């Protein structure tokens, strides 16, 4: 019986040795015990005759619960025995505890005659432990909450006093901060609406927006200057209003129907440029600038505003 068993064992093992002729596969790890999340360095070396065509194992299927965090495939080289060497390195990790097996890694190959074969590495076991178990913590169940801390009566007064001091300090800080902010906001522009609009139009005219083709920036600034002038000159609120809302405000102002239509046409055409990114006709931006300029000059309050020297450049006055 023992003789038959020995013959059967030799019979089964012989084909495996034959299939592995000319190819060896070696696999090893830097450690066999880790905690979850730790990295394991797996190195695989395949050595084969240069006459063989070697196909590498599919690592994604073989690694099971382990995931590949990084890898490096070195270029094949020929060793001193004239055999071709393939070297691979994988950084593995897992978040599942237990004893896990990296099965034999099998490389298949064919020779010049088309005969196929395979060679495999040994299996590798890796023990993955929990962090709680590593720290010696109780992993059976979640522990109960600790009892609520109660402040001794003789010390409670000190806690209340400290809380009151902190609250008062915060209140003082908040009041001072708010007062400083209000003082900063209290700085008033003493220029008349006309003077401010002229200064801002001069700045816009020298901005270079038109030369650079920045139409949206040009119209954002131009409409803001115009709306701010309307608000200051006629005591209305158009700066934050939409164009349809401005349309409903215009009847409150001393403008003719033609003037109201021109104002709406200006604001609506500017909206197309600002929000729909429409490229205006070549002369339109300059025409709108000249119209706003003339509107500000035509509607200023002569009785209130002093005859201060004009701050307008010749180029802006002529629309150039």
Tell me the per-residue pLDDT of 118-147, one tens digit each, with 9 for 90 and over: 888 888 989 999 877 555 555 555 666 776
Average model confidence (pLDDT) across the chain: 80
Residue that the structure tokens 């033609």 belong to: 258
CATH superfamily of 2-134: Immunoglobulins (2.60.40.10)
Residue range 182-240, pLDDT digits in tens: 766 656 778 999 999 999 999 999 999 999 999 999 999 999 999 999 999 999 999 99
Q: What is the mean pLDDT of residues 16-42?
A: 79
| CB neighbour list of residue 88: distance below 8 Å, 6 or more residues apart | 43, 44, 45, 46, 56, 71, 72, 73, 74
Residue 144 burial (CB < 10 Å; 0-12/13-18/19+)?
exposed
Q: pLDDT band for position 260 (50/70/90)?
A: very high
More confident site: 293 or 10: 293
- What local confidence, expressed as pLDDT, does residue 298 receive? 93
Domain boundaries, the chain: 2-134, 153-187, 193-317
- What local confidence, expressed as pLDDT, does residue 111 receive? 83
Is the model's pLDDT at 5 over the cut of 90?
A: no
Q: Give the pTM.
A: 0.40
């Amino acid at each position: 019986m023992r003789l038959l068993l020995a013959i059967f064992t030799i019979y089964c093992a012989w084909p495996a040795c034959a299939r592995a002729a000319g190819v060896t596969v070696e696999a090893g790890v830097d450690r066999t015990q880790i905690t979850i999340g730790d990295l394991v360095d797996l190195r695989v070396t395949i050595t084969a005759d240069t006459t063989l065509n070697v196909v590498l194992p599919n690592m994604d299927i073989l690694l099971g619960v382990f995931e590949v965090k990084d890898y490096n495939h070195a270029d094949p080289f020929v060793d001193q025995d004239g055999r071709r060497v393939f070297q691979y390195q994988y950084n593995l990790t897992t978040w599942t505890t237990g004893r896990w097996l990296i099965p034999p890694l099998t490389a298949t190959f064919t020779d010049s005659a088309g005969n196929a074969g395979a060679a495999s590495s040994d299996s590798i076991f890796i023990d993955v432990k929990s962090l709680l178990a590593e720290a010696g913590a109780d992993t059976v169940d979640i522990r109960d909450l600790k009892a609520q801390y109660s402040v001794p009566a003789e010390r409670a007064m000190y806690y209340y006093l400290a809380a009151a001091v902190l609250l008062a300090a915060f209140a003082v800080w908040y009041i001072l901060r708010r007062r400083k902010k209000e003082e900063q906001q209290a700085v008033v522009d003493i220029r008349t609406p006309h003077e401010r609009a002229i200064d801002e139009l001069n700045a816009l005219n020298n901005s270079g927006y038109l030369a650079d083709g920045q139409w949206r920036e040009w119209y954002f600034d131009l409409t803001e200057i115009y709306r701010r002038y309307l608000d200051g000159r006629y005591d209305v609120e158009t700066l934050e209003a939409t164009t349809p809302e401005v349309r409903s405000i215009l009847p409150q102002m001393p403008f003719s129907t033609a003037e109201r239509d021109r104002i709406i046409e200006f604001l609506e055409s500017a909206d197309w440029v600002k929000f729909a990114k429409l490229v205006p006709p070549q002369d339109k931006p300059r025409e709108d600038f000249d119209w706003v300029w003339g509107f500000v000059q035509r509607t200023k309050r002569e009785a209130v505003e002093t005859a201060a020297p004009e701050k307008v450049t010749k180029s802006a006055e002529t629309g150039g």
